[in-house]
Amino acid sequence: RPDDGLRPKRLDDYIGQDELKQVLGIAVQAALGRGDALDHVLLYGPPGLGKTTMALVLAEELGVTCRITSAPALERPRDIVGLLVNVQPRDLLFIDEIHRLNRVSEELLYPAMEDRRLDLTVGKGSTARTRSLELPPFTLVGATTKAGSLSSPLRDRFGLIQRLEFYGQEDLEAIVSRTADLLGVSLSAGACRRIAGCCRGTPRIANRLLRRVRDVACVQGRQNQIDEGLVSQALSLHRVDHRGLDAGDRRLLAQLDQHHDGGPVGLETLAAALGEDPTTLESVVEPFLLQQGLLVRTPRGRMLTEAARAHLREQEVA
Ligand code: ADE
């Protein structure tokens, strides 16, 4: 991952998500006090808000190893068995996109999470037997963009269930400023404000935009004098508008406006018209548009809001 050197290492360095930090900070302190593993944690929310980072921070705070994997890498039952038999006492296992675990893998996790027991099937057919293997105490940290797609038996086995929120302007400015320091670039206050204002409340996007701004600064020989004007150049180069919408977001809004009379239109129809995967549309593209009040979900489908129409008109003029 390109952001690895930029990730905060400790809770104190992690900017924003105050409630999440408070809840997890107390849980960590209590677990350390008892010498026990931290309870299983489910982190959910839109991509790029710091779920993986938080798992790494938790491991650091607990002084344990974090093993990172994602559900698509755990396709065969033996993948999850391999992961669990290698776990050391109080280790943290991070499973990204946990809503995509298949049934068999998920069912191996239930007793592992609940009773620290791994139920293995040995042999085949009529001679098959189950063997139980005792596991050390460990912490599963699951992350998902779609908490609603998690089966309830799985969801119920997490002791802590926390949502990550989009970041506010002030936190984003602090994050951009921190990243700029780490990248060794010097930003004016206006430049920092501008990047924070168009990153869709998402640190991953803020850091990505900052890199693109740095590229433009670099070719102009202005690495150490990045101002608002330079940020604007980089943003228009990448077709990011002042609200942070990219070409894909505007395409969705324009589709609704021009071909469906503002809606309502079903997710599947919209996705097909845009040549997008419905799940991606729903969990990656839509959350920010919904949060911004540019889109609403109704029982009969997606609808454009007046704010979105105004935004589209503004973009045409610009
Ligand atoms: N970089 C990306 N997200 C961050 C956060 N929440 N705190 C500090 N640095 C970050």
- The model's pLDDT over 18-52, given as tens digits with 9 standing for 90+, comes to 999 999 999 999 999 999 999 999 999 999 999 99
> Which one, of 37, 66, 287, 71, lies nearest residue 164 by Cα?
287
End-to-end Cα, the chain, rounded Å: 35
Q: Is the pLDDT of residue 3 over 60?
A: no
In the reported structure, the alpha carbon of residue 73 is separated from the centroid of ligand 1 by a whole-number distance in angstroms of 26
**pLDDT tens digit sequence for 74-128:** 999 899 999 999 999 999 999 999 999 999 999 999 999 999 999 988 888 888 8
Q: Is the pLDDT of residue 1 over 70?
A: no
Q: What is the mean pLDDT of residues 248-270?
A: 95
The closest-lying atom of ligand 1 relative to the alpha carbon of residue 7 is: 1
What pLDDT score was predicted for residue 125?
A: 85
Averaged confidence pLDDT in the chain: 94
Token readout for 71 is 């559900």
Task: Judge whether 251 counts as a catalytic residue.
Answer: no
The structure's pTM equals 0.90
Q: Which residues pair with residue 43 across a beta bridge?
A: 143, 162
User: Does 205 contact ligand 1 (Cβ within 6 A)?
Assistant: no
Amino acid at 62: L
Query: What percent of the chain stands above pLDDT 90?
Result: 86
Q: In this structure, are residues 266 and 247 in contact, taking their beta carbons and an 8 Å threshold?
A: no
What pLDDT score was predicted for residue 147?
A: 84
In the reported structure, the alpha carbon of residue 44 is separated from the centroid of ligand 1 by a whole-number distance in angstroms of 17
Catalytic residue (choose from 53, 90, 91, 96): 96
What pLDDT score was predicted for residue 203?
A: 97
Q: What is the mean pLDDT of residues 270-283?
A: 93
**Which of 14, 21, 209 has most ligand 1 atoms within 8 Å of its beta carbon, as the pocket-test mutant?**
14
Band (pLDDT 50/70/90 cuts) for residue 151 is: very high
Cα–Cα distance, 43 to 26 (Å, whole number) = 16
User: Does 203 contact ligand 1 (Cβ within 6 A)?
Assistant: yes
Cα–Cα distance, 133 to 148 (Å, whole number) = 31
What pLDDT score was predicted for residue 123?
A: 84
Q: What is the mean pLDDT of residues 287-302?
A: 94
Task: Judge whether 51 counts as a catalytic residue.
Answer: yes
Q: Is the pLDDT of residue 148 over 90?
A: no
**pLDDT tens digit sequence for 185-234:** 999 999 999 999 999 999 999 999 999 999 999 999 988 889 999 999 99
Q: In this structure, are residues 173 and 193 in contact, taking their beta carbons and an 8 Å threshold?
A: yes
Task: Judge whether 204 counts as a catalytic residue.
Answer: yes
Cα–Cα distance, 177 to 161 (Å, whole number) = 30
What pLDDT score was predicted for residue 318?
A: 64
Q: In this structure, are residues 95 and 138 in contact, taking their beta carbons and an 8 Å threshold?
A: no
DSSP run (H or E) holding 103: helix 103-115
ipTM above 0.90, yes or no: yes
Band (pLDDT 50/70/90 cuts) for residue 4 is: low
In the reported structure, the alpha carbon of residue 126 is separated from the centroid of ligand 1 by a whole-number distance in angstroms of 54
**Which of 1, 3, 4, 7 has most ligand 1 atoms within 8 Å of its beta carbon, as the pocket-test mutant?**
7
3-state SS class at 129: strand
